Amino acid sequence: MKHIFDMISKKSSKLTTVTYSTSFSLGIKVFHRKLHDPIYAIYGFVRFGDEIVDSFHGFDKRKLLNKFRKDTFEAIEDGISLNPILNNFQWVVNKYNIDHELIRLFLHSMEMDLDQKEHDQKSFEEYILGSAEVVGLMCLQVFVDGDKTRYEELKPAAMSLGSAFQKVNFLRDLNADKNLLGRSYFPGIDVIMLNEETKGQIITDIENDFKKAYEGIRQLPKGARLGVYVAYIYYLSLLRKIKRTHSSVIMKERVRIPNREKYGLLVSSAVRHAFNLL
């Protein structure tokens, strides 16, 4: 009857994804069906890790994160966990031979959030690597299904895309990160004094990440290409909206793409994909 528990685990990861992220949920829906459960499993794991350091105020976050780390690697080694999210994650790690170092780097970046409130260039790059780039690499290992040559070829683009996504999130969440969590991610930038020139410098850097990522998206296996492209288009549209929004507004409001626009982006992306216009 273990298959029932495994089914519950998969549903738990999916519920976590659709509850926390409309945009990623849309992207996953247009993946080939065989990719749905593995990508839900990865997102559920990283979402829980992120929530520990971002949301569990009033609790011992370090203790919770340490337990989460211990339980994660025990689940991978044992091939099972009573935590449905970790049970599903260990399944995808073991099935696709996901590099354990990627998991360690992710958890290290989550730990950085407990102590480090500001970053220099070195720590910023270290944080981006663990919090975003390795997540893209976990997904890439699923997409290429063990093809090490394709993985190495697409690795730089996957890292650039993860970096772009994370930096867009940082830019969109400047107000909440600074005023609610006391964090400032962009090195050498006083977000309280954010102006159009500084915002422009950040956006140029993110646009370069998107450019590096695009060619890699075009080379992805067909079953994964549209889903990743949908997420790419959503975040690129979000960046363009931020670009049109004055810096003073960004520090007061969270820039969003309405759901109706998200569905419009999905449809237009599907059309471009169908006619090989990516």
Q: For residue 104, report the phi and psi dihedrals to the nearest 5 degrees.
A: -65, -40
Per-residue pLDDT at 76: 98
User: 60 CB contacts (<8 Å, ≥6 apart)?
Assistant: none
50 against 22, higher pLDDT: 50
- Give how far Cα 128 sits from Cα of 68, 197, 244, Å: 20, 23, 25
Task: Summarize pLDDT for 5-30 with one digit per residue, the tens.
Answer: 999 999 999 999 999 988 788 889 89
Q: Which range (36-40, 213-217, 228-232, 266-270) has the least confidence? A: 266-270
> Bridge-partner residues for 184, per DSSP?
118
Q: For residue 251, report the phi and psi dihedrals to the nearest 5 degrees.
A: -75, -5
Q: What is the CATH number of domain 2-274?
A: 1.10.600.10
Q: What are the domain boundaries of the chain?
A: 2-274
Task: Summarize pLDDT for 94-149 with one digit per residue, the tens.
Answer: 999 999 999 999 999 999 999 888 899 999 999 999 999 999 999 999 999 989 99
Task: Summarize pLDDT for 158-199 with one digit per residue, the tens.
Answer: 999 999 999 999 999 888 888 778 888 999 887 777 889 999
